[in-house]
Amino acid sequence: MKPLTRIAGVACPLGLANVDTDQLIPARFMKRPRSEGYGSFLLHDLRRDESGAERPDFPLNREPWRSAPILVARRNFGSGSSREAAVYALADHGFDAVIAPTFGDIFASNAVKNGVLPAVLGEEDVEDLLAALAATPDLPVTVDLAAQTVSWGNRAASFAIDPVWREQLLNGWDDIDVTRSFAGDIRRYRTALDHDRPWANPSSGGSP
C-alpha cells in the first residue's frame, strides 16, 4: 500500500446514516475479478435508477464531487455484512478517506487493510462539515493523518483512529509489514530463548 499522510481536495457530502455494505456494493456485482475494478458499482442502487441511469441529484453524480478523494457520511457507516468488496468499491472509485461519527467494526478494519482511512469525527463536527459542503460544494477539505485533524474553511477538528491502524496507514503497511516492524524484538527474543532454553529447539540434524 502507498503511505497515507495527508489528503486534500473536495469532499463529497453523502450525508446518509446506516449505509451498509450491501448498499456500498450490491452482492450481484461481486462475481467479477477485483482486477476489473469495482468503482463503478459503488452505491449503485442509490446512484442509479431502475434503468441504470444516474440520478442527477445524488451527490456522487454531481460536480465537483464526482472525483472527490474524501467522503463524508453520518453514523454507522459500513455496517452489515463483512464483505471486503465494499472497501474495494470505495478505493477503486478514488476515495482515500471516509469521515463519519461511527463505523462498522469489520468495515473499518477492512478499510485500513486496503489503504482507506476511516476517520471518526464527532457528530456535531460532521454536521458542521456537511452544512459547509452544502453551502460551498468546492470547499477545500484537508485530512491530516499525522495530526489527526480535519480542516475546512476556518475550522479544524480532531478525529479518532486506532493507533495501530494510524501507523499502518502512515507507513503504507499491511499486517505482515506490522509484524516485520518487530523484527529486532523477535531476534532478541529468539537469541535469549536459545540461551536460556536450548533444549526447546529442534535438533539441527544427526543421529538421535
Domain boundaries along the sequence of the chain? 6-173
Question: How far apart are alpha carbons 90 and 65 in whole angstroms?
Answer: 14
CATH architecture of 6-173: Alpha-Beta Barrel (3.20)
Binned at pLDDT 50, 70 and 90, residue 189 comes out as: confident
Instruction: Read off the pLDDT of each residue in 177-182 and give the average, rounded to a whole number.
Output: 65
Q: What does the buried/exposed string (b/e) look like for 67-90 if buried means 16 or more CB atoms within 10 Å of the residue's CB? A: ebbbbbbbbbbbbbeebbbbbbbb
- Quick: pLDDT tens for 20-54: 999 999 999 998 888 999 999 999 999 999 999 99
Q: What is the pTM of this model?
A: 0.86
DSSP per residue, 113-139 = HTT-EEEEE-HHHHHHHHHHHHH-TT-
